[in-house]
Amino acid sequence: MSGLGGLNKTPNGVVLGMVQAQLPNVVTPDDLAAQTQRIVDMVAKARRNMPTMDLVVFPEYSLHGLSMDTNPDIMCRLDGPEVAAFRQACIDNAIWGCFSIMEFNPKGNPYNSGLIIDDQGELKLYYRKLHPWVPVEPWEPGNIGIPVCEGPNGSTLALIICHDGMFPEMARECAYKGAEIMIRTAGYTAPIRHSWRVTNQANAFSNLMVTASVCMCGTDGTFDSMGEGMIVNFDGEPLVMGSHRPDEIITAEVRPDLVREARKYWGVENNIYQFGHRGYVAVKGGAQDCPYTYMKDMVDGNYRLPWEEDVVHTDGTSCGFDAPTRDYQGEEMPTLPSQV
């Protein structure tokens, strides 16, 4: 149950607010500044809307819109004015916030980045989208893995972005690193509606983990984002689902303590444990090998599908992007700005 959307907060609860933000059209630095202020104002609205709210979550593209514009003039930096404004909004409203930025990258294409900021204005989690939605998105693939952080009321949070959630390995990594709540921000449009729903539920159930997901909403005159925020309990049951109304904030209380309890006490369907302890009824501790060919091949740098040569789209040229010439650069953790 969701505690009537968080109205009745319990001592162990975390109240989430998922903002189905109106899809903006951002072209110039002035547009970027205006949209930054709009998000700041929505943080304040969320706090007024639900005094019990612990964490307010904004979708992917809530700052930049869906244009896929990589113009350096409207790209953000971690120490730039947009992030500073988000940090101050969290301080002013005594609330945690999750935000989306398209981040300037001096070595290549911008990163599609996500931030979690606490109620003191401290940057607690910084993530670069691992799986841009190819061939549509031009963003540099993330290179700092999937971090987790301590969240409100002793919870453990992870953040993935949009297309990331279509890969079950992403949710599994979040849970493996201890996440009890996995946030998924997105800009998806209506054709992805069914996939969105089933993956949010499957990611929750197969990892005994709450998933809290939200898309952009409304139209920018070209694209129509679908909204449809949803918070799913660790057993795969949706606690709340949003509509298609722009700027609707859906809320629910979730219970990280019950996630921890299930992970400890469940026998049947404790899949996150049983994945690494196959058949423990038959063999002591279960088999702890890696029987998956694709995992071994990926580690060895030899991931190839049986139909690899038949795949048609292998770069972004079908969506108007030039074929890339740069090789991928590995892990590179940036220097994060100091606390406000």
Q: Catalytic annotation on 296?
A: no
What is the rounded distance in angstroms from the CA atom of residue 131 to the CA atom of residue 110?
Answer: 13
Name the 3-class secondary structure at 171. Answer: helix
What is the rounded distance in angstroms from the CA atom of residue 289 to the CA atom of residue 295?
Answer: 12
Amino acid letter for position 138: P
What's the count of helices (H) and strands (E) in the chain, helices before strands? Answer: 8, 14
Q: Which of 76, 90, 98, 162 is catalytic?
A: 162
Q: Exposed, middle or buried: residue 314 (CB in 10 Å: 0-12, 13-18, 19+)?
A: exposed
Q: Catalytic annotation on 129?
A: yes
Q: Which of 9, 82, 103, 129 is catalytic?
A: 129
What is the side-by-side strand order in the sheet with 230-232? 148-150, 156-161, 181-186, 210-215, 230-232, 238-241
For the chain, the first-to-last Cα distance in angstroms comes to 36
Q: Catalytic annotation on 162?
A: yes
Q: Which of 9, 60, 82, 103 is catalytic?
A: 60
Active site amino acids? 60, 129, 162
